[in-house]
Amino acid sequence: MTFRNKIAISSEQHSLLAPQPPAEERKRAHWLSAELERHNYLYHTLDAPEISDEQYDALFRELTELEKRWPALRSPHSPTLRVGGGLLEGLNKKEHRRRMYGLDNVFSNEDWRDFVERMRRAWDAELNGPLPPAFWCDPKLDGLALEVIYVDGVLSGALTRGDGETGEVVTEAVRTIRTVPLRLRGEGPFPSLLEVRGEVVMFKKDFAALNEQQQALGRKPFANPRNAAAGALRQLDISITESRPLRFLAYNLGEVDWAATAPCLSQHELMERLKGYGFLIPPDGRLCVGPEEVEAYAAWVREHRQDFLMEIDGAVAKQDNLEAQEALGFTARAPRFAVAFKFPAMQAETLLTSIDIQVGRTGVLTPVAVLEPVAVGGVMVSRATLHNEDEIRARDVRVGDTVMVRRAGDVIPEVVGPVLARRPPDAVPFVFPHTCPACGEAAHRESGEAAWRCGNLSCPAVCLRAISHFVSKAGLDIQGVGQKWVEQLVKSGRVQSPADLFTLKAEELLGFERMGAVLAQKFVDTLENARHTATLSRLISALGIRHVGEQTARLLAGQFRDLDELGRADAEALQALPDVGPEVAASIRNFFESPANWAQLARFREVGLWPQSSRTTSGEEGSALEKTQNGPLHGKNVLFTGSLSLPRGRAQRLAEAAGAVLAGSVNKKLDYLVVGDKAGGKLDKAQALGVAVLDEAGFRALLAAAGITLDASE
Ligand code: IVH
């Protein structure tokens, strides 16, 4: 079946007859036109955008709507009719055999349904039969479009998109990209002419390494992988291109002469063919049948956006049937057969109002940008890390600057750099403080280190962080001793180290805000209980040794009897343990080599917080108390399911305190499955395997038998 192109392209040449817009709207449209053109140039030609993609899209949409409402405003020069930006001087230019179009965007499922509707209307069903329902979908890569040209299977040219009609010749630079085959793979025969289109990107990890290197060389870091890739590709000096880790991923064709080869009939077949020829293709592409499946795919990509190796800014849906693609054709600027689901930008600009210095648990001073709140990738951001003194200097970020902020993955938002065009004339370079903002003592920066540190062991900010960590879920998990109390206790000077908590008396607490006799007693009891039930693994994790999280702490507690024994272990003994590498071992040694830390440990011993591990053969830790060791949960594999009246984490901690080993799944080795409300498949499985099932009362009874007491309210 051959679909014929029977689409009437509506002409907009009647603007003089059309109703005239009010002066204000005319003015706005002119302004939008000029502004969009300026941003096009900044983005495409100079690789120096001043606004985020999201802001650009908003301007673009506003102009499109105005032109829709007032056809008289449309002009052949409108940026809404343009594909890309301009051309860089210095590179040779060449016309594309087929124009390289951009894609229209949809921002919601409603927009997408409208697009499908427009596609239906453009489709001549009488002539062509029903519109094929399948779409090839893949992630929208945030790089730059490139066309690579093969003649009889041999790479013979490469063009950037340029303005869509004419691109820059970058053949030599492209030859250095390892993922561009110099000859098509396979036996042939090959098409006599094959133009493959795709995206040049830099993987996130390569970008991070490149920026680190830039900085080490004292150069300005790149704003994002796209800019780094664009800069690399359009180098006149190709040795620079070669040194940058670029990749090309293919997703489309330009002109083709299939010659003696079988032509591809569908997009999904084409993707297979491209893979066979030796190209990388965008990951996780899928054939979706019907608009709903496309919506589900777009939602999936959006949710997994962070997990992709490269930056993506949306998902693309393309009519799968290539003849139907041809028949649907193009509007003035984009295909009618394909559309991009755009995700919110992960980058935005905002005002940097001040720079705060935060003091961490280990005394490190971290500069934090205080920002006018702005949405980045759908999340409001008002603070962003500036990492350290060198980073601020490398990016030359100043208070009063308008800055680009980005979020990558789940990581803390960061400031990319200033928008120099908006720098106030009186902005001055930031001077990193040489004193701790919390205690006023001199800070120091060791040679070879990026961080300034406060070395004052009783600095209130350091104490506060250390104690907060100590009582947190990652530490002893002492519920009821929250951040607010810790702050008050540290501020009063009564508590300067975690061990001080265990010397508190109820009477002393009465002076604190909202602390009555009952609460004060409860507070002291909670701490007393925590001291009794603390396991060695929890205590190790509570110490906040760098690189030692809960997992490693558990492992260490399974190997060493107590902190004395752990403290005596040398790096070699530590590294002999599974999962302990040189970095972790060194960090543990560092901790135990500090006399200040031993002083702190001595205080733990003094207040009776000195758990011993039972060193079970499984490598997991038992409990310190004899009663616990003889208790019914000791050494037993326990798993929780359903909801209990106390939080899951709390129940797990208690079980651990009673010497139990937390299991990950129901299997024959499981000793107890503790079930709460709404237990599901795990209960069925346990019963099928004959595993003992405990309800909450039964679990509490076993805890009591192990000498573990719960608060009255629990
Ligand atoms: S298909 C006729 N698939 O996004 C155009 N394009 O903003 C068909 N892009 O110009 C293009 N990832 O450079 C397609 N998986 C993908 C893409 C993709 C990124 C680029 C392409 C396009 C631009 C539009």
**CATH number for the domain harbouring residue 292:** 3.30.470.30
Last residue in a domain, options 297, 313, 342 = 342
Closest ligand 1 atom to Cα of 102: 10
Which distant-in-sequence residues (6+ apart) come within 8 Å of 292 by Cβ?
none
pLDDT, greater one: 521 or 211: 521
**Residue 99 forms part of a structural domain:** no
Select the highest-mean-pLDDT range: 109-118, 341-350, 437-446: 109-118
pLDDT computed for residue 467 by the predictor: 94
Model pTM? 0.55
Domain identity same for 295 and 248: yes
Give yes or no for residue 138 CB within 6 A of ligand 1: yes
Q: Is the CB of 141 under 6 A from ligand 1?
A: yes
Which atom of ligand 1 lies at the shortest distance from residue 334's CA? 2
Mutate to test the pocket of ligand 1, among 119, 199, 201, 288 (most ligand atoms within 8 A of CB): 199
Are 241 and 163 in the same domain?
Answer: yes
Q: Are residues 598 and 519 in the same domain?
A: no
Q: Does the beta carbon of 285 sit less than 6 angstroms from any atom of ligand 1?
A: no
Can you give the pLDDT at residue 11? Answer: 37
Position 87 scores a pLDDT of: 40
Q: Which residue has the tokens 């000791």?
A: 634
Among residues 615, 642, 659, the one where a domain terminates is 615
Query: Which among 415, 443, 471 is the end of a domain?
Result: 443
Whether 119 and 235 share a structural domain: yes
CA–centroid distance, 340 to ligand 1, in Å, is 8
The 10s digit of each residue's pLDDT in 597-609 is 888 899 999 999 9
In a domain, 620, yes or no: no
For residue 22, the 8-state DSSP code is P
- 165 and 196 assigned to the same domain: yes
pLDDT at residue 227 is higher than 50: yes
Same domain assignment for residues 196 and 329: yes
Q: Is residue 544 exposed (0-12), middle (13-18) or buried (19+ Cβ within 10 Å)?
A: buried
Same domain, 67 and 189: no
What is the C-alpha to C-alpha distance for residues 148 and 170, in angstroms, rounded to an integer? 9
205 in catalytic set: no
Q: Is 43 in the pocket of ligand 1 (CB under 6 A)?
A: no
Within a domain: 560: yes
Note whether residue 452 is domain-resident: no
Q: Is the CB of 486 inside a 6 Å radius of any atom of ligand 1?
A: no
Considering only CA atoms, which residue is closest to atom 23 of ligand 1? 102
Residue 209 has pLDDT above 70, yes or no: yes
Q: Does 545 share its domain with 643?
A: no
The pLDDT score that the predictor gives to residue 187 is 87
User: Would you state the pLDDT for residue 86?
Assistant: 38
Specify the ligand 1 atom closest to the Cα of 139: 15
Q: Sorting pLDDT into bands at 50, 70 and 90, what band is 77?
A: low
- Please write the tens of the pLDDT for every residue from 611-638: 998 654 333 444 344 456 667 888 888 9
- 256 within domain boundaries: yes
The per-residue pLDDT for 9 is: 35
pLDDT of 408 over the 70 cut: no
The answer, yes or no, to whether any atom of ligand 1 lies below 6 A from the CB of 317, is no
User: Does residue 92 fall inside a structural domain?
Assistant: no
Distance (angstroms) between ligand 1 centre and the Cα of 103 equals: 6
Quick: pLDDT tens for 238-279. 777 777 889 999 999 999 999 999 999 999 999 999 999 999
Which range, of 80-84, 148-152, 363-367, 466-470, averages the lowest pLDDT? 80-84
CATH number of the domain that 483 lies in? 1.10.150.20
Both 521 and 546 in one domain: the answer is no
Residues 6 or more apart whose Cβ sits within 8 Å of residue 656:
535, 537, 538, 621, 662
Q: Alpha carbon of 488 to those of 485, 496, 527: distances in Å?
A: 5, 11, 16
Say yes or no to pLDDT of 346 above 90: no
Confidence bin at 94 (pLDDT 50/70/90) = very high
C-beta atoms surrounding 193 within 10 Å: 17
In sequence order, the 6+-apart residues with CB closer than 8 A to the CB of 31 are: none
What is the mean predicted confidence (pLDDT) over 20-26? 90
In a domain, 378, yes or no: yes
Quick check: 100 pLDDT over 80? yes
Task: Tell me the average pLDDT across 285-292.
Answer: 96
256-270, 425-439, 668-682: least confident range: 668-682
Please state, in angstroms and as integers, the Cα–Cα distance from residue 65 to each residue in 58, 326, 490, following that order.
Answer: 11, 28, 58
Percentage of residues in the chain with pLDDT exceeding 70? Answer: 91
Q: How far is the CA of 146 from the centre of ligand 1 (A)?
A: 10
* pLDDT, mean of residues 222-245: 81
Least confident residue range of 282-296, 343-357, 651-665: 651-665
Q: Do both 156 and 267 map to the same domain?
A: yes
User: Residue 259 is part of which domain span?
Assistant: 105-342
Give the CATH number of the domain where residue 71 resides.
1.10.287.610
Question: Residue 104 C-alpha to ligand 1 middle, in angstroms?
Answer: 10
Q: Are residues 374 and 333 in the same domain?
A: no
**Among 27, 68, 94, 140, which one carries the catalytic annotation?**
140
pLDDT at residue 212 in the model: 84
Per-residue pLDDT band at 45 (split at 50, 70, 90): very low
Query: Of 687, 689, 699, 691, which is closest to residue 632 (Cα–Cα)?
Result: 699
What average pLDDT does the segment 694-706 reach? 88
Predicted pLDDT at 666: 86
pLDDT digits (tens, 9 = 90+) for 293-326: 999 999 999 989 888 999 999 999 999 999 999 9
Query: Strands of 286-289's sheet, edge to edge?
Result: 105-106, 338-342, 312-319, 134-141, 286-289
Q: Is 102 a pocket residue for ligand 1 (Cβ < 6 Å)?
A: yes
**How many structural domains does the chain have?**
6
State the pLDDT at residue 84: 36
Give me the pLDDT at residue 627, please.
54
Ligand 1, atom 10: nearest CA belongs to which residue? 102
Mean pLDDT of 545-557: 88
Which pLDDT belongs to residue 453?
Answer: 92
Query: Do residue 484 and residue 528 come from a single domain?
Result: yes
- The reply to whether 490 falls in a domain is yes
User: Does the Cβ of 142 fall within 6 Å of ligand 1?
Assistant: no
Distance CA 655, CA 663 (A): 11
Q: Look over the chain and give the mean of its residue pLDDT values, rounded to a whole number.
A: 87
